[in-house]
Structure 1
Amino acid sequence: MVHLYHDFCLLMRFEILTIFPQIIEQYSNESILKRGQATGAIKIIAHDFRKFANDKHNKVDDTPYGGGPGMVLKAEPIFNCLKSLGLIKGKLKNKNSKTKIIILDPAGKRFDQKMARRFSKLERLILICGRYEGFDERVYKFVDEKISIGDYVLSGGELPALVVAESVARLVSGVVGNAESLKEETFEGFVEYPQYTRPEDFMGAKVPKVLLSGNHKKIEEWRKKHSCG
């Protein structure tokens, strides 16, 4: 788990429920997520919901009623974990406009930059990672939204959760050093224009002359022309 140096300026907390917390912790200790936590802008915590199972073996899955292949994640460990975080009162989810509980689910709404921007306004984002054949349907009673990062199969929700966390974290003030870079980046249907750096000539492939001209208006026009949207 990554610890903050300064909790007083914390803007957003990401809490990820998983049975593989080490995946979350390892990635969160690198690159931009590490930097964002070091500045105190964000905090990322992995909660192992296996610890909230109701039996001595910490079992979080069981066979599906009605038969079928694979195992299904039980409702109790996830419910107990959410309750321990103050997100459930009695049998109902606490309502807080600054907190969202999200399940990573292939049947969910497709995650995009617009959604990332909306989530970045929160104070607390809870991401629940699935495994096996998915969740007991009763888990969804305590969830605000279910989202997907694409139409393909993964073994669990940890990678999607990290995709969401990084995408949202980059929009939180103090995480990305250069605010201008956020304005220039790809978002909402546009693919960024081609980029070049030194050398000017690489194996006969040259940098477009307009980018060397110093004419900012023409450079901007060139970039718009070569952006896809």
Structure 2
Amino acid sequence: MPKIHLLTRKEDINEAKLREGNKIAVVLDVLLATTTITSALNDGATEVIPVMDRYEAEAISKNYRKDECIVAGEEKAKPIDGFVYPSPLIIRQNIKGKRLILSTTNGTVALRKSSSAKKVYVASLLNNQSVADRVRVDQEVDTILVICSGNSGEFSLEDFYGAGNFISCLVDDHESGFELTDAARAALYFYIGCAKAYDVLLASHVGHLLEKYHSLDELLFASKIGSIQLVPILEGRKVVLENSAKLL
């Protein structure tokens, strides 16, 4: 019986433990990194390269022509000079046929720190159902680690809600087929007890920031549960669609 466990911050990732057994990592950064990655792939990006910081992004971008990639990023929610701001609604305008090099404070770091797991999936409210459907049929997995990226070492309401939504999609009224830790069960019950995704995201710390900077369209986009049917997976240091990954 697979165990579902949840981490509320990227800082709690133990890379050595992830290598043990057959562990799957499902990483969420609802506002906005994993939402942006999912959206970019849906809008025709060839791949997404998540990096640890702006310096790695700049180094990697030198390997490609300017018309081959978009370099996007933020540091502690602030724009980086010379980078596109990592908004899904901005990036989608020019991403088709290009790779996205993405640097964020939390989500891309969480993805890289999770890379020692057997498989690493990129999840958001947009595609939780599709990722859950894929994870459910993996007969070899012993632990499904749902990872909330968090906010610079702090708890993230929107990621916790997103994790609960993912777990709800995964168990799909068959909770007896999984062993849920208390943390995973808490996220599930929180999600079940909430009303609208938009309201939860708006109530979060990042939601307040988006409201302050008149970016509620980003919030509305990120709250659209099940709107994209894609399964992004980390292959090496690149995120691609799972079907594409099998061809690499």
State the TM bucket, normalised to the shorter chain: under 0.3
Structure with the larger helix share: 2
Q: Is the radius of gyration larger for structure 1 or structure 2?
A: 1
TM-score computed with the length of structure 2 as normaliser = 0.25
- Structure with the bigger RCO (C-alpha within 8 Å, sep 6+) is 2
